[in-house]
Amino acid sequence: MDSDMLLTEPGTDDTSLIAAYRSGDDEALTALIQRHQASVYRLAVGVLASHEEAEDAAQEALIGMLGALHRFRGESRFSTWLYRLTLNTCLKRRRGLGRAPAVYVEETQSIPGGAAAQPDVQAGRRWAQHQVARFLAALPDHYRMPVVLADCVNLRAPEIAELMEISLPAVKARILRGRQRLREEIERYCREAGLSGWRELVSEL
């Protein structure tokens, strides 16, 4: 059975795939990686604010997962274990860079048709996504991490609390405040740049 079929077979949750891999089924490992690699990359982008750095970090995290999988005992969800490994990999890489995350999207880049234009939906949505990423990268870590985990990796608040080793109320408060600050910064930028036609599009993301 190939890895694509494994992903849709009944009973092939992460625990089942890990058990199958430990029994010698290499396709199960491929399916496990395919299931989580997009989320691992999104988490890396959120932490490092650089597609290039995120690609390297995601690859490093998945390789690290392969080397450490024999130590996974199922005491937490596999996804929590993997995202913690990814987060640690990204933070170590960021310390090695000796700087905070770079803002990798220029402010003046890619406003389709100019500031005065009403946004074409598809082109405008891409521009808006870049702006969200740019301002997300500028949030302090204690706000950015929970927002990235909630909105980019789609983790629930209890999972984020476990991953970050903080209380559930603290997670909820940080997500709320992080989203609020993100919205305020984007609205301020759109207002000061005369992008009234774009602010609504950004706020929908």
90-115 pLDDT per residue, tens: 999 988 876 555 444 444 444 444 44
Lowest mean pLDDT, pick from 9-18, 67-76, 111-120, 157-166: 111-120
User: According to the model, what pLDDT value does residue 135 have?
Assistant: 85
User: According to the model, what pLDDT value does residue 189 have?
Assistant: 81
Spatial distance between the Cα atoms of 74 and 48, rounded to a whole number of angstroms: 28
User: According to the model, what pLDDT value does residue 103 have?
Assistant: 47
Domain edges within the chain: 3-97, 121-203
User: According to the model, what pLDDT value does residue 111 have?
Assistant: 45
CATH classification (class only), 3-97: mainly alpha
pLDDT tens for 150-164 read 998 999 999 999 999
Mean pLDDT of the chain: 81
- Percent of the chain surpassing pLDDT 90: 52
Spatial distance between the Cα atoms of 191 and 173, rounded to a whole number of angstroms: 27
Looking at the predicted structure, is the pLDDT value of residue 199 above 70?
Answer: no
Spatial distance between the Cα atoms of 167 and 171, rounded to a whole number of angstroms: 6
Domain pair 3-97 / 121-203, same fold: no
Domain 121-203 listed as CATH 3.20.20.70? no
